[in-house]
Amino acid sequence: MSGWHAANAGWLARARQNWAPRAPEPLLVRAWLASPVACDGYDPLTLEGVLQSVVCLRETGVDPGDVYSECPLREPLANTDIQIPIVDTVAGVVPIAHASVGWFSPDALATKRQGWKRADAESYARPIVKLSEAGTKTQMVLKATVTAQHVDFYVEGDRALLSELLRDASHLGAGRAGGLGVVQGWEVTPVPVSWWWFGPGGRLMRSLPVEMIATDERAGDYDAREATLRAPYWHHQTRTICGVPVQRFGEPIGQAVGEFFITGHAVRRFKERVPGKARLSYEEALAELIQTMKRSHFVKTQDNGLDLWRGPRPHRLRLKVARAPQGLPQLVTVLRGCDDGWQR
């Protein structure tokens, strides 16, 4: 046991006792935003780090940055992990939370904010840091942000404990000193779907090790690259090759319409693959796709578990539908009538 762990084992044990989920259920956690959020589209927003910071602050009364400043980089992950009221599944040595990444509201736009970046005097190891010198001068920098009304997280957790912790979570993401990521309020509501790892039709909803992701089309668009699985994000054991979901701003996850749940991915593929539909807005394309589904018929169930439906003339689209254990069947994607190569 390292000296750091010996000094912090007490409050970590209290956190495990106080904040372990007691009555977990599927939940939608929605953050209403009062300012743009720092997000570059590469590293998605996560909820676990926010919750761990609040737990650390409540149990110690000290900022998490100060608590972990003396933590050895090679400290085992089990000695640094902070309990939060979300269910975990352990993959190797990493507990992966049953929590999706943040999905922005359909009105989201990629924006930029200018801000001043001051020199971090402590990192230079000098007795005097002159802010007038070129290497340490305060600079104006551009930060990639997203402007949206809200951001959603699908989790399996304890509703009462999450609501209690989120009262102290005032920001999301980085750049809070510059006024970014201000949360106006939180909503925690039960939902009838289990979308913390995989969403409509099996779409990937959070970063997962690539070996845990199905290789068929149901996982949707994702990048295979190195990513972190859990806070603290600086810990070497939390980084591995993952499938990271791709989120396109302005594309909703989907919505229930009539007898089907129409995914945003299916609407986008409809616009891309049907001649003359690229000019349509999302709402117009959704309306036409709904009419197409009403006139379509079931063909067969494929080997990957998806149902194949065939659309009406003249396009005779191939429509892939996933049966959901709960709720409506989900339209996953739209393919052209003729098979001109692999499509997803």
What pLDDT does 149 receive?
93
- 137 with 168, same domain? no
Q: From first to last of the 344 residues of the chain, give the pLDDT tens digit.
A: 688 999 999 999 999 999 999 999 999 999 999 999 999 888 899 999 999 999 999 999 998 989 998 899 889 998 999 999 999 999 888 999 999 999 998 888 999 988 777 777 667 777 777 777 767 777 778 889 999 999 999 999 999 999 999 999 999 988 888 889 999 999 999 998 889 998 887 788 999 998 888 554 556 678 889 999 988 888 888 999 999 998 888 778 877 777 888 988 889 899 999 999 999 888 899 899 999 999 999 999 988 888 999 999 988 999 999 887 667 888 988 999 875 444 44
Cβ atoms < 10 Å from Cβ of 190: 9
The answer for residues whose C-beta is within 8 angstroms of residue 66's C-beta and 6 or more apart is none
What pLDDT does 118 receive?
74
- 69 with 172, same domain? yes
Question: What are the E-state strand segments in the chain?
Answer: 24-33, 37-38, 88-91, 94-97, 103-104, 109-117, 139-147, 150-158, 183-190, 208-209, 222-228, 239-245, 254-257, 260-263, 297-301, 307-310, 318-322, 330-335
- 10 with 136, same domain? no
Q: Which residue range is the domain that position 320 belongs to?
A: 254-335
What pLDDT does 342 receive?
42
Does 341 map to a domain?
no
- 129 with 14, same domain? no
What pLDDT does 214 receive?
59
- 124 with 8, same domain? no
- 163 with 288, same domain? no
- 124 with 195, same domain? no
- Find where tokens 């190891």 sit: 125
Q: How distant, in Å, are the alpha carbons of 52, 165, 291 from that of 188?
A: 17, 11, 34
What is the count of structural domains for the chain? Answer: 3
Residue 78 to residue 13: CA distance in whole angstroms: 11
Q: Is the pTM of this model over 0.85?
A: no
Does 39 map to a domain?
yes
